[in-house]
Amino acid sequence: MKLNVMITLAAVALLGGLTACNGKLDKAPRADQVPENAVRITASIGNPFAATRSMPLGTEEEQGKFNVGDEIFVHTSSSQRATYRFDGTVWVPKEGEYLLWKWNDDSFEAYYPAEWGEKGFNHEIYHHPTDQSSTEKIAKADLMSVGLDQAKTKEALHFTMYRKTTRLIVEIAGFKSEFPGDAKVENVRFHNKNDASAPLRTYIPYAKGEGKTGSTYTVLVPWDAAHNTISLEVGGKTMTAKLQENRYDIGKSYTYRLTVGKEKLETTEVTVSDWTGSAVIPGGEANLAKWDGVTTSPVTPDADGKTYNIKSPEEWLWLCEQIGNKTIPTNGLTINLTADLDFGGHEMYPLGYTKDNASGAVVGFQGKLNGNNHTVKGLKMTQGTYQHTGLVAILYPNSTVKDLTVECDIKGNCDNNTSSAMTIGGIAGSSIGGTVQNCTVKGTVSSDKRAVYMGGVIGYFYGGTMIKCSNYAEVLSLSDENRVTGGVAGCVGDLFQTGYDMPSFMIACVNYGTLSVRGDGRAGGITGEAAFNTNKPNDVRSTFTACYNVGDIKVVNGATYTGGASAGLCVAPSEKNTELYGCFNAGTLPQDGNPGVSQRKPYGNGVFALSDASDNLPASVGIADTGINCGKKTRSDLNSSETVKAMNDAIEAFNRKVPAHACSSRFKEGPTYPILE
């Protein structure tokens, strides 16, 4: 609902303005002075546990009530208006004039604060308060309204008021180590505008604390608040952090945890909840109710009928049900995450299955999943017997997942006795010709079953493109029969089927996680296998550009690794089907059992490995003897300007060869190894 002139208000005004009421009283009327046909009112707050009106203290019951002196503006379809004031017991007309029952039924609109309603009724612009630095001031910013159709009655009309703003809470989660123990922030301000060209609005928040760790800052922002940021001062330096570009949902509370660094502010966690949570929330401190793992909430798509904006675990689970049951087709579907999703460690199932997976059939995802730089937290999949396990089961051609972080505990449990692969990854089990861009996985990805393709981000990448993806999760083999594991992708393959001819490209992808291996499977820091295509034995089908691995490949404690092959970057079964441009390995290879080598040596241009990272180099990193600028380096040499240039030159060579997949990332010298800009 807009905050300025409202259609209903304007319509009432056009009907002729005020109609004379009963004689005006100089003070609150006695009972015997109240006209028989007077409209009496009571009011309460529909979501009583929000604590914005009675901050910072109060019981749950108290927080559902109005305060003495609060005023509500009421107008009717019979062209009357009045402002009612709460005296602590009853609501009485501020000017002594009651609204009157003139018809057998009437429609009422009520507004808090009264000024909001009055301005709208008079066709004047209402300016939402930006100074919310006290309990009294933030109360005046707590916009509420309600409409009521009512037959004539002698009983008091009850207005259950509903909030029309969004609450933003920023908590100072802590300071980086470069700050002293008594560090604090000052001059905290919130900023927004209703569109990109509009003037900036600056808010002074309600503050609790002295600016040290644990301090909170709370504001209420209107429906049109977009381009939301926060600024503060620390050590005399002004710093700014983006909160949300698009508009918030009214009636929701967003809690941001902010870590203060020397160079930037980092949002480490965002929690979204209804204000109707069961906990008392005094003064901006949030103790928010967690999702129960079962409740679902339907989502209405945008006008196109194919775009779903997801802001809670309840909504995600509902969408999973609809897709798994094929109620909502995924072809052309767009899913936008508008907030972080915290699943709270409840058991989930992949998007593309039904919960019980009774048939074993999987629905492939053919749409777009836009994370919008949000995080999926507490994702747990450890009990289901799904053949393809991840946040999404399978990505099909033309699908896209981008700008998403997943924090997960995923374990594959499917007993695979067929020729089909079992695939496990943080983002998706399989991607068949899809695009995965700017995605990060943290946590654990594991399996204790056989014939598994398992990767931190994707289990099996059958053709398509992975761009700027990173893995921090441990990829853990719990069985000696695990087949192929990789830091970013278990296997990078080649989609060559009727109607499709899709080589694989992995660009600017990094593995930081540990690969814990056992048995005789293949393992690689980026991918455990770069599969070749028997139909095109002389064609390049898998290309790796600006990729590196700094995670270790180690043997699970107490286990034995006889590894058919292991490599710091990728295992390449074919000499001709795989190429690497501007890549390096700085992680160690397993030393227990056979350290493993690539079955074949792919072509390399500007591909290096630390000489102290592994034995049996360069074969163990999979570098062709005929490659350009490839080989072993000491740690200092690996990070030298000459090596960095060689890798960047290799990236340029790739761009000239494959301009359609040009890589924009470049290496620069880092503390211990080169890093991507």
Residues 64, 162 contacting (CB under 8 angstroms) = no
Long-range contacts of 622-625, Cβ-Cβ distance < 8 Å, separation of 24 or more? 622/567, 622/568, 622/569, 622/570, 622/571, 622/572, 622/580, 622/598, 623/580, 624/575, 625/601
State the DSSP H helix or E strand holding residue 376, giving kind and residue range, or none if neither.
Answer: strand 368-381
Supply angle C-alpha 331, 394, 543, rounded to 5. 105
- E-state strands within 34-130: 41-45, 71-76, 81-86, 91-93, 105-112
How far apart, in whole angstroms, are the C-alpha atoms of residue 428 and residue 424? 7
Residues 567, 604 contacting (CB under 8 angstroms) = no
Residues 605-619 have a mean pLDDT of 66
pTM, entire model: 0.60
Q: Which residues pair with 168 in a beta bridge?
A: 219, 254
pLDDT tens readout for residues 527-581: 988 877 777 778 888 999 999 999 988 888 888 877 667 787 888 777 788 899 9
pLDDT tens readout for residues 144-187: 888 998 999 988 898 888 878 888 989 998 888 778 878 899 99
Among 599, 465, 594, 624, smallest CA distance to 531 is for 599
Q: Which two tokens stand for residue 164?
A: 């029309």
Residues 562, 517 contacting (CB under 8 angstroms) = no
State the pLDDT confidence band at 13, using cuts at 50, 70 and 90: very low
Q: Which two tokens stand for residue 92?
A: 């009485």
Q: Tell me the CA distances in angstroms from 254 to 230, 261, 274, 590, 598, one per residue in order.
A: 13, 22, 9, 46, 50
Q: Which two tokens stand for residue 368?
A: 């777009």
State the pLDDT confidence band at 388, using cuts at 50, 70 and 90: very high
Q: Does the CA dihedral 366-438-445-610 come out positive or negative?
A: positive
pLDDT > 90? residue 204: yes
- Provide the total of helices (H) and of strands (E) in the chain, helices listed first: 7, 49
Q: Do β-strands 504-507 and 392-395 pair in parallel, antiparallel, or remain unpaired?
A: unpaired
State the DSSP H helix or E strand holding residue 121, giving kind and residue range, or none if neither.
Answer: helix 114-121
Q: Tell me the CA distances in angstroms from 159 to 44, 80, 129, 156, one per residue in order.
A: 7, 17, 23, 10
Among 392, 448, 388, 457, smallest CA distance to 420 is for 388
Q: Tell me the CA distances in angstroms from 78 to 147, 166, 270, 336, one per residue in order.
A: 14, 32, 46, 44
Min mean pLDDT across 127-136, 349-358, 618-627, 638-647 is at 618-627
Please name the residues in contact with 534: beta carbons below 8 A apart, sequence gap of 6 or more. none
